[in-house]
Amino acid sequence: MDWGMKNRLSQIIKPDTGRTVMLAVDHGYFLGPTSGLENAKKTVEPLLPYADSLMLTRGLLRTSVDEGTSVPIVLRVSGGNSILNDDLSNEEITTSIKEAIRLNVAAVALSIYVGSKYEHQTLMGLSNLINEAQEYGIPVLAVTAVGKEMVRDVRYLSLACRIAAELGAQVVKTYYCEDFEKVVSASPIPVVIAGGKKIPENDALKLAFNAVKRGAVGVDMGRNIFQSKYPVAMIKAVRAIVHDGISADKAVKMLRDLTKKKK
């Protein structure tokens, strides 16, 4: 791995802990004005001090993030579909590497849809993106998107993560599942988990705890942070799990203490 690639990766996965808290706010690329992100600037700003990186589209970056930010950017570069379409897998590359460089990003991200109708298209999209990004030392985060009809189990997620790694992605983002340690051990690259749909805060903290306990290098979490009634307290508690290694119970207590002060 060359110096630029390593340097960019170390902006995201912090060398002192080997872990990361990525904040994902890219949902609008197919969900439109996602609840909590209607005014993304307002939502994101207070969370930035606690995020190791921010994952979003170029449109949101340009309009909703201050150019002076020191938070590394993970740019979503795939899309071309919407929630109105039953098959979400018909994605392609939307944003060029030239644009990623212009925006000074730390990494680029795209979704792959293993087992879906457009599997081949999205896997070739990943391969082409890696070929190009590698030229400039830009890491690629592959997101293992799961179609509506797919089961998020250890067999499927191991398959999708391993394919992403074999094609050359530097980091893979997936979902937590039973026997998650097997997903991690089958993946020779760092694994981060998405939070998924909003669930109670305590459960989301347990999810983050279980994921890092079973080998994830951290989270790339969105809705369970920005849709929480207490987003800043939530990201602080997630951070404490990921970087300080506190237990899920301690994180729940931390969240309770932080939110009590707000009442």
CB of 220 to ligand 5RP, least distance (A): 6
Between 7 and 39, name the residue whose CB sits nearer to ligand 5RP: 39
In the chain, how long is the greatest CA-to-CA distance?
A: 51
List contacts with ligand 5RP (CB under 6 A).
24, 26-27, 55, 111, 143, 145, 194-196, 220-224
Q: Which of 173, 198, 213, 261 is catalytic?
A: 173
User: Residue 225 in contact with residue 195, Cβ under 8 Å?
Assistant: yes
Between 6 and 80, name the residue whose CB sits nearer to ligand 5RP: 80
Between 197 and 260, name the residue whose CB sits nearer to ligand 5RP: 197
CB of 40 to ligand 5RP, least distance (A): 13
Between 115 and 263, name the residue whose CB sits nearer to ligand 5RP: 115
CB of 171 to ligand 5RP, least distance (A): 12
Is 213 a residue of the active site? no
CB of 256 to ligand 5RP, least distance (A): 22
Active site residues: 173
